[in-house]
A and B are shown apart, each in its own frame.
Chain A
Amino acid sequence: MTIQEIQEEIISEFKNFDNWMDRDNYLIKLGKDLPPIDSEYKREENLIKGCQVKTWFHFTFKDGKVFYDIDSSSIMIKGIIALLIKVLSGQKPEDIKNADLYFIDKIGLRENFSPLRANSLFKLVNQIKSAAIAYEAKRSI
Chain B
Amino acid sequence: MYETKNTYFDITKIRNDFPVLNQKIYGKPLIYFDNAATTQKPRVVIDTINKLHSEHNSNVHRGIHYLSEQMTEMYELARKKVQDYLNARHSQEIIFTSGATASINAVAYSFGEAYIKEGDEIIVSEMEHHSNIVPWQIMCKRKSAKLKVIPINDKGELLLDEYKKLINSRTKLVAIVHVSNSLGTINPVKEIVAIAHENNIPVLIDGAQAIQHGSIDVQDIDCDFYAFSGHKIYGPTGIGVLYGKERWLQEMPPYQGGGDMIEHVKFEHTTYDVLPFKFEAGTPNYIGVIGLGAALDYLTGIGLDNIKNYEKKLLDYATTKLTTLNGLRLYGTAENKICIFSFLLDNIHPYDVGMLLDKMGIAVRTGHHCTQPLWEHYKIEGSVRASLVFYNTFEETDFLCETLKKIQKMFK
Contact = CB atoms under 8 A, between A and B. Distances in A.
B410 A52 contact: no
A28 B349 contact: no
B381 A54 contact: yes
Given A20-B26, A24-B410, A76 B352 contact: yes
A116 interface: no
Interface string B358-380: 01000000110000000000000
B360 to A, nearest CB: 9
A68 B334 CA distance: 46
A28 B356 CA distance: 11
Contacts of B411: 28, 75
Interface residues of B, number: 13
A63 B309 CA distance: 69
A52 B366 contact: yes
Interface residues of A, number: 14
Contacts of B366: 52
B159 interface: no
Contacts, number: 35
Contacts of B410: 21, 24-25, 28
A52 B382 CA distance: 10
Contacts of A52: 351, 366-367
B352 A20 contact: no
B26 A76 contact: no
Interface of B: 26, 348-349, 351-352, 355-356, 359, 366-367, 381, 410-411
Interface of A: 20-21, 24-25, 28, 52-54, 73-77, 118
Q: Which 10 A-B pairs have the closest CB atoms?
A: A74-B349, A74-B351, A76-B352, A53-B351, A52-B367, A74-B352, A73-B349, A20-B359, A75-B352, A25-B410
